[in-house]
Amino acid sequence: MDRHPLQVDIGKAVSGRSLAAKLIITLTLLLPLQPAVADAILEGQRHHPVKGVNGMVATSHTLATEVALEVLENGGNAMDAAVTAGFALAVTQPRSGNIGGGGFMLYAPGNGEAVEAIDYREKAPAAATETMFQDQDGNVVPNRSRFTHKAAGVPGTVAGLAMALERHGTLSLERALAPAIKLARDGFTVPDRFTEGLEQARDRLQRWPATLDTFYKEDGSPWQPGERFRQPELADTLQRIADQGAKGFYEGETAALIVEEMERHDGLITLDDLKNYQPKIRQPVHGTYRGHDIYSMSPPSSGGTHIVQILNILEGYPLAGFGHNSAASIHHMAEAMKLAYADRARYLGDTDFVDVPVEGLTSKAYGEALRKTIDPDRAHPSSDIQAGNPGAHESPETTHFSIVDRWGNAVSNTYTINFSYGSGITVAGAGFLLNNEMDDFSAKPGEPNAYGLIGGEANKVEPGKRMLSSMSPTIVRRDGRNYLVTGSPGGSRIITTTLQVVLNVVDHNMNMQSAVSAPRIHHQWLPDEIRIEQGISPDTVRLLENKGHKVVTGSAMGAIQSILIDSDGTLYGGADPRRSTSSAMGY
């Protein structure tokens, strides 16, 4: 049965560094401003200094945090540091950091000017077809969109980071790439998590000789913690970008290597696909929540739309009075999440190809209409909302970083190759992994993807189209000033994870690290269950079950990397203890 109010009303609604699990430090920066080293570089920019602070970087890998922080210390701005971090993560964290994938970035100037979104999501190759992941009988062949060369979308990361630097940075691409090239060529000391990841994904990755050669030792074992891991081919690939700009990736030797890889294995990406790839400037989704301005990612990500939609529903409830993670809070959050994810399945896709009613979905009127459908005492079965079938949950690996500079400029960036290590396929001779982002399309309308997310017509495969995402880089402003910079990996859980950090700060008045660390919950409509992390009390679970919810305890969700800018300009970092290499550092 369709949930009718949604259909009706959408149309009408106007319209210290932390070594993570080992040590997490919430940084409070009270240092005086350093001498204005960057004044020469930044001359002409209209930045308003934030009183009494310098800058902060929060990423999922300490080495990336360190090199980005160094950029800030040397006078670079938040975008210089962001692009440096993005390329460094492509070297140090191959399971999610990437040049073979894509993502989304929000940039919020410290002077209160408009927030900008940069969409560098992968695109379907020109030869892609609606039924490419189905067999002759129209049945979905699941692994074709996940572990074959056809799984790869045309990568967007290099073009996106280059565009972001060009628009808002002060460094040359060569300078921003220098730390990544050094880390790739000279190597870095492998942390436990690096070894664990390659151990877990061994069977999947070692099917591909170039992946085996690039990421494992000669005997096939992964590099061990404490050992130095070098990537000479990746260093050469990055050097070509440093020398030639984005063309050094989308044309010439690297492009030829990608296309040869495709031709050897029946893949679809051509030289023209690469040459034609362009990132896009988008209008971020904007909403308000209890006096705060919420900016988040617009389609082709669903993230911003549904964060704002859920916040609009929840604004009518006294969440602070209900209490953090009380049964009342979780019940109302889960009911709101359920409604939003049902809409995601039906309406969301790439706005360059389909009309998405973002304005209606994010309107207060629609939020109010949805709120009226929520019973405060009983769970609304998902089957009454719309039928569907859940799929298996794959391990999601995406990565987020947040950066604030001394001028209060903020960057919130989430990028990915989809699964851990993406498709598992390394471009031979180029040393980087290809994404398997084509799985984020609906292989067939109504069929779930790897995250159990149902997609509709709006997200069917079409040549040149961007596949729907959940990535939600988010920036919250208060009184016109940047206040909270946040985002997370986590596949379908990205939206709800990021949402809960906003709720924890705004409703529950938590400090930055507590907001990041607190146990999370998630409901995505299908499967019809509230997934919780450890740390929610059994009493609460019982109360939820009494309301008719199925509650399932799962593994940790997401890896938020956040920064909060207090009204006096003090910066607070929140690095997620769910990742052992997370780090928030300031100077």
Q: Which of 55, 245, 491, 574 binds ligand GLY (CB under 6 A)?
A: 491
91 contacts ligand GLY (rule: CB under 6 A): no
Residue (471 or 541) nearer to ligand GLY, CB: 471
- Report, in Å, the least distance between residue 134 CB and ligand GLY: 20
Q: Between residues 151 and 242, which has the closer beta carbon with respect to ligand GLY?
A: 151
Examine residue 85 and tell whether it contacts ligand GLY (CB under 6 A): no
273 forms part of the interface with ligand GLY (CB under 6 A): no
Residue 234 belongs to what H/E stretch?
helix 232-244
Q: Is residue 335 a contact residue for ligand GLY (CB under 6 A)? A: no
Cα 130 from chain centroid?
A: 26
Nearest distance in Å: CB 304, ligand GLY? 12
Residues, the chain: 587
Which position has the token pair 């890896």?
A: 559
* 497 catalytic residue (yes or no): no
**According to CB under 6 A, which one of 93, 418, 497, 561 is a site residue for ligand GLY?**
418
The residue among 98 and 409 lying less far from ligand GLY, judged by its C-beta, is 98
In whole angstroms, what is the distance from residue 555 CA to residue 549 CA? 19
CB of 147 to ligand GLY, least distance (A): 15
CB of 121: closest distance to ligand GLY in angstroms? 8
Residue (26 or 469) nearer to ligand GLY, CB: 469
Q: Is 40 exposed, middle or buried (0-12, 13-18, 19+ CB in 10 A)?
A: exposed
Whole-number minimum distance, CB 470 to ligand GLY, in Å?
4
Contact residue for ligand GLY among 329, 386, 413, 416 (CB under 6 A): 416
d(CA 456, CA 444): 8
Which of 221-229, 250-258, 469-477, 544-552 is the region at the interface with ligand GLY (rule: CB under 6 A)? Answer: 469-477
Q: Is 9 in the site for ligand GLY (CB under 6 A)?
A: no
Q: Is 379 in the site for ligand GLY (CB under 6 A)?
A: no
CB of 42 to ligand GLY, least distance (A): 33
Exactly one of 18, 470, 488, 517 binds ligand GLY (CB under 6 A); that residue is: 470
Task: Give the residue among 469, 476, 518 at the shortest CA–CA distance from 311.
Answer: 476
* In the complex, least distance from residue 123 CB atom to ligand GLY, rounded to whole angstroms: 13
Query: Binding residues for ligand GLY, how many (CB under 6 A)?
Result: 9
Query: By three-state DSSP, how is residue 317 classified?
Result: coil
Q: Where are the alpha helices (DSSP H) in 296-425?
A: 303-314, 319-322, 327-347, 358-361, 364-372, 382-385
Distances (CA, A) of 406 to 59, 108, 141, 570: 18, 13, 50, 10
Check 211, 237, 305, 398 and give the catalytic one. Answer: 398
Q: Which of residues 554-573 bind ligand GLY (CB under 6 A)?
A: none
Strand, helix or coil at 221?
coil
Please report how close the Cβ of residue 421 comes to ligand GLY at its closest, in angstroms. Answer: 13
Q: Residue number with the shortest CB distance to ligand GLY? A: 469
Q: Is 471 in the site for ligand GLY (CB under 6 A)?
A: yes
| Best CA proximity match to 99, nearest among 184, 175, 197 | 184
Contact 106, 116 (CB under 8 A): yes
Residue 242 backbone dihedrals phi, psi, to 5 degrees:
-60, -40
| 538 contact partners, CB below 8 Å, separation of at least 6 | none
Amino acid at 59: T
> By C-beta, is 363 or 470 nearer to ligand GLY?
470
- Is position 455 an interface residue for ligand GLY (rule: CB under 6 A)? no
Nearer to ligand GLY, 312 or 470 (CB): 470
Per-residue burial over 263-290, b if 16 or more Cβ lie within 10 Å, else e, is: eeeebbbbeebbeebebeebebbbbebe
Q: State the nearest-atom distance from the C-beta of 344 to ligand GLY, in Å.
A: 11
Choose between 351 and 514: whose C-beta lies nearer to ligand GLY: 351
Residue 472 lies near ligand GLY (rule: CB under 6 A): no
Q: Rounded to the nearest 5°, which phi and psi values hold at 532?
A: -125, 155
What is the arrangement of strands in the sheet containing 396-404, beginning at the earlier edge strand?
280-282, 116-120, 102-108, 410-419, 396-404, 56-59, 583-586
Residue numbers 431-450 binding ligand GLY by CB under 6 A: 437, 440
Decide: is 513 part of the binding site for ligand GLY (CB under 6 A).
no
User: For residue 161, which phi and psi values (nearest 5 degrees)?
Assistant: -65, -40
SS (H, E, C) 263-293: HHCCCCCCHHHHHHCCCEEECCEEEEECCEE
298 binds ligand GLY (CB under 6 A): no
Judged by beta carbon, residue 96 or residue 504, the one nearer ligand GLY is 96
To which residue do tokens 């051509």 refer?
A: 270
Considering only the stretches 166-174, 186-194, 220-228, 465-473, report the one whose residues sit in contact with ligand GLY under the rule CB under 6 A.
465-473
Catalytic (active-site) positions: 398
Tell me which residues touch ligand GLY (CB under 6 A): 398, 416, 418, 437, 440, 469-471, 491
